[in-house]
Amino acid sequence: MIEVYTGSLGKINLTTYEDGVPVEPDAAPTVTIVDAETGSSVATGTAVLIDADYEGEYEFTLPMSATSTDRVLKATWSYTISSKNMQEVEYVYVTTPYATIDEIMAELGYSSQSQDANYFSYDKVKSAERVARMMINDYLGFSLGKYTGTIVAYGDGADVLILPTKMLSVTKLTENDRVVVDIPEDYNQFGYDIEITETGYGLRIIAQTPGDDISEQEYYDILNLRAGQFRNGYRYEVTGIVGWNYIPVEVKQAMFLLVNDLLCNDSTWRAKYVKKINSGQMSVELSSLTFTGTGNALADSILQKFKSIQAVVI
């Protein structure tokens, strides 16, 4: 699995083989990168040889524009060996870490020096961070990353549209499959400007005059709908930036607890669904909640406020 962090100059690697043996291609491989969901072009370029002493090992550095938000990238490598055309496709996951490797090492007192008793390798800590992040996402039912996307909500006749997911900004609004607002194109057939509410869980119609009671305004003649309202039962698609600008401190703390659990010996018990251990005079029985939450009661308690977030608070 190839994973790079958002906001980084992530590197992707390629080893060129012929008959299972690394060999130098006729020329440096080229790579074309597109967004795996939309197919839009992200970057193109030529890979760089990592070390002249190691045949066929190349790398390509992703531009910052490619890692600005969470997404999946499709990288297509092209090269020739002995005049034979070769092509390889791989997927790169751009993700937001809930705690960086440096933060984890410092918080948990781990050492990056192999001779120390508390040594953990970078790769092992990074793997634990990824698993802990997935555990948190599964427990909460959503990700705290940031990505460009479209979410669906239904109007209820009010001037605020309740959103099922936190959003940071909006670029387009569709009503029953009809585009009514496209902010980049300066297009608005909805009749009013719109904005994301303070909490990010609502899309609000901006009153034209401060102090107006939008719900009492007359019908908007052009669209034959009540002005200043998201019509009851209508399906709205809201496109923009979905997610969080930063990782809350509570989530980071839960990450530290879970990473520490994953890197200690008792994580093996939970991974194997061990419920009870009886060894002589000592008997250990794990709570059933171990297998329904994150596996750490303290982490579950810390994360509960996010699990209980209700979109009615706008």
Q: What is the pTM for the complete model shown?
A: 0.79
Give, in words, the CATH class of 2-95: mainly beta
Question: Which tops the pLDDT comparison, 51 or 173?
Answer: 173
Predicted confidence (pLDDT) at residue 224 exceeds the cutoff of 80: no
Residue 236 confidence (pLDDT) above 90: yes
- pLDDT band (50, 70, 90) for residue 62: very high
pLDDT given for residue 9 in this prediction = 87
The pLDDT tens digits of the residues spanning 281-302 come to 666 566 565 556 788 889 999 9
Cβ burial, residue 285 (10 Å; 0-12/13-18/19+): exposed
Q: What is the DSSP string of 257-272?
A: HHHHHHTSTTHHHHHT
pLDDT band of 303, cuts 50, 70, 90: very high
The domains of the chain are located at 2-95, 101-144+246-307, 146-243
What does the alpha-carbon distance between residue 284 and residue 277 come to, in Å, rounded to a whole number?
A: 5
- How far apart CA 235 and CA 154 sit, in angstroms, is 5
Among 18-27, 70-79, 85-94, 261-270, which is the least confidently predicted range? 261-270
Give the percent of the chain with pLDDT over 90: 68
Model confidence pLDDT, tens digit, residues 2-58: 999 999 888 999 999 988 899 999 999 999 999 999 999 999 999 999 988 888 999
pLDDT at 269 over 60: no
- Confidence at residue 91, expressed as pLDDT on a 0 to 100 scale: 97
Nearest-angstrom CA–CA distance, 77 and 32: 7
